């Protein structure tokens, strides 16, 4: 289990703009001119945190109901968060009519969570390379049955999160995902596909 808090992320202005264009109509040059200003305004409220663990396939099948593919030899479960401050501010702004800052916050939250997940993925990718494996694409988890199980598995209270037992939904400032590990093809002189990963490699992944 790995926990990292207060890591640095860098938001991409173009991605914030792309999200905003879907909710601000019409999009004007005035909006584009203040994107950097809005990012600078709300960025101090972001409190990054990540928590992840990697399980062998056999352990994941016993402990979870994740729909693993046939090629998966292990799976990582990752949760990232950016703290509740922007969420709290957005709730206040949502009560006011025509307050555009609510849209700005939503776009900045979305990009912040994306960058936080990318940070965790870079660390996991380095681990996977050491084990001669590669990672799949993060698959977000929203299912009512999976969220409590995986949240308990990770021990999300370690990064200040807690689920409502009656309504176990993740807040909007959190992203939960799973990522499959598959073995890299073995280098051979033939054109045949690489053999299945050895048991020793799977056991190493379990220790991550």
Q: Which of 156, 157, 158, 117 is nearest to 138 (CA)?
A: 117
How do the pLDDT tens digits run along the chain, 208 residues long? 899 999 999 999 999 999 998 887 788 888 888 999 999 999 999 999 999 999 999 999 999 999 999 999 999 999 999 999 999 998 888 777 667 888 899 999 999 999 999 999 999 999 999 999 999 999 999 888 899 999 999 999 999 988 877 777 889 999 999 999 999 988 765 554 444 444 444 443 444 4
pLDDT of 98 reads 61
pLDDT of 116 reads 98
Which structure tokens are listed for 76? Answer: 């990582």
Rounded Cα–Cα distance for residues 104 and 207 (Å): 41
User: What CATH number corresponds to the domain at position 11?
Assistant: 3.40.109.40
pLDDT of 141 reads 92
Look up the pTM and report it: 0.84
Q: How many domains, the chain?
A: 1
pLDDT of 193 reads 47
pLDDT of 97 reads 66
CA distances from 126 to 74, 80, 152, 176 (A): 15, 18, 26, 20
Q: Nearest 5°: phi and psi at 107?
A: -70, -40
- The domain in which residue 110 lies consists of 2-206
């Amino acid at each position: 289990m790995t926990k990292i808090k207060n890591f640095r992320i860098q938001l991409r202005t173009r991605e914030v703009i792309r999200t905003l264009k879907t909710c601000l109509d019409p999009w004007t040059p005035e909006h584009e001119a203040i994107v950097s200003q809005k990012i600078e305004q709300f960025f101090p409220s972001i409190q990054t945190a990540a928590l992840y663990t990697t399980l062998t396939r056999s352990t994941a099948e016993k402990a979870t109901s994740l729909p693993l593919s046939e090629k998966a030899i292990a799976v990582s479960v990752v949760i990232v968060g950016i703290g509740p401050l922007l969420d709290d501010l957005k709730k206040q702004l949502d009560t006011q009519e025509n307050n555009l800052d609510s849209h700005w916050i939503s776009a900045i939250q979305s990009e912040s969570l994306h960058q936080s997940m990318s940070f965790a993925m870079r660390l996991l990718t380095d681990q996977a390379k050491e084990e001669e494996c590669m990672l799949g694409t993060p698959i977000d988890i929203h299912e009512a049955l999976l969220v409590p199980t995986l949240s308990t598995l990770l021990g999300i209270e370690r990064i200040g999160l807690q689920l409502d037992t009656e309504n176990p939904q993740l807040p909007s400032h959190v992203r939960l995902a799973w990522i499959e590990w598959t073995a890299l093809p073995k280098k051979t002189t033939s054109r045949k596909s690489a053999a299945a990963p050895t048991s020793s490699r799977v056991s190493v992944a379990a220790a991550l």
